[in-house]
Amino acid sequence: MSRTPIIGGNWKMNLDLTEAQTLATEVRHRLSAYLGAQTIVFPPFPYLLPVAERLAGSSIGLGAQDLHFEAKGAFTGAVSAAMLTSVGCKWVLIGHSERRHVFGDDDAVVAKKLRAALNAGLKPVLCVGEKLEERNSGETFRVCGRQLRTALEGLTVSQLEHMVVAYEPVWAIGTGLVASPEQAQEVHADIRQKIGDLLGVTYATKVRIQYGGSVKSSSAAGLLTQEDIDGLLVGGASLQAEEFAAIVKAKG
Ligand code: PGA
């Protein structure tokens, strides 16, 4: 089964407007002619529109880092799915570990956000991953399984046609402690099997599963050559165009 690699750059809460525009222009310049992987950037909300303008007509996709599950109303500080599509967003991160563990989004909130994204026609990147103490107590598969199940329960293969899953072990995010290719592959294979149990083997063989957590150009190729690793979700290293481009092109 060939799955087109998909590499995301999650800019998190970084950059000013000028820096974001420059980064988008440089990413476009380095990657828009590269057909070996699909590339998406996830800028902060205020930069979505200016970055969309810089990426217009290119192959680089645009995504948001989060959304609120309500459609509109008195939700100060929140951004709806329809607002995202209206500024040209096609993708959205759902359940990133910083949303889960810094902002307190629980499995039920993540499930509602996923449905809001799908209803608006946004392509979700559903993030799952265990904390260090959960890994150390042998709970990695169980935690990822619970996060998947509660998010996907009741959804159909056709609703989830464009979904991407990201395995992001919390202990690897922003720590410099990248999972080894073997550690990541083991969890990716288990995630794919669990998705098969929930949605069928045909869907599971097609769905793309990214790894995220301290990825650099030096570690990208080793991860991407694993059987069940179909892409990468990159934080810190996506803030430098040259390094990010090297990661996107790592598989050759
Ligand atoms: P990192 O972040 O690459 O800085 O570890 C990854 C992520 O949170 O998506």
Ligand 1 geometric centre to CA of 179 (Å): 12
Looking at residue 2, what is its pLDDT? Answer: 86
Which mutation among 93, 102, 215 tests ligand 1's pocket best, with the greatest number of atoms within 8 A of CB? 215
Q: How far apart are CA 244 and CA 252, in angstroms?
A: 14
**Rounded mean pLDDT, 101-118:** 98
What are the pLDDT digits (tens) for 126-137?
Answer: 999 999 999 999
The residue to which tokens 């996830």 are assigned = 42
Class of residue 226 by CB neighbours under 10 A (exposed 0-12, middle 13-18, buried 19+): middle
Q: Which of 6, 168, 209 to mutate to test the pocket of ligand 1 (most atoms within 8 A of CB)?
A: 168
| C-alpha closest to that of 99 among 112, 90, 88 | 112
- Average pLDDT, stretch 241-245? 98
CB 164 within 8 A of CB 207: yes
With a pLDDT cut of 70, the percent of the chain lying above it is 100
Please name every residue paired with 93 in a beta bridge, in sequence order, or none if there are none: 125
Confidence of residue 1 (pLDDT cuts 50, 70, 90): low
Please name the residue whose Cα sits nearest to atom 6 of ligand 1: 235
Structure tokens belonging to residue 198: 């929930």
Cα 196 to ligand 1 centroid, rounded to whole Å: 27
Distance, CA 172 to ligand 1 centroid (Å)? Answer: 8
Q: Which residues participate in catalysis according to the annotation?
A: 96, 168
CA 87 – CA 3 distance, rounded (Å): 28
Q: Which atom of ligand 1 is nearest to the CA of 175?
A: 5
The pLDDT of residue 80: 98
3-class secondary structure, 106: coil
CATH entry, 6-248, from 3.40.50.150, 3.40.720.10, 3.20.20.70, 3.40.1010.20: 3.20.20.70
What is the structure's pLDDT at 252? 80
Expressed in angstroms and rounded, the spacing between residue 71 Cα and the centre of ligand 1 is 28
In whole angstroms, give the CA distance from residue 40 to residue 62.
6
d(CA 134, CA 176): 19
Cβ neighbours of residue 164 closer than 8 Å, sequence gap 6 or more: 6, 123, 124, 125, 126, 207, 208, 209, 210, 231
Query: pLDDT (tens digit, 9 = 90+) per residue, 7-16?
Result: 999 999 999 9
CB of 233 closer than 6 A to ligand 1?
yes
CA–CA gap between residue 48 and residue 57 (Å, rounded) = 15
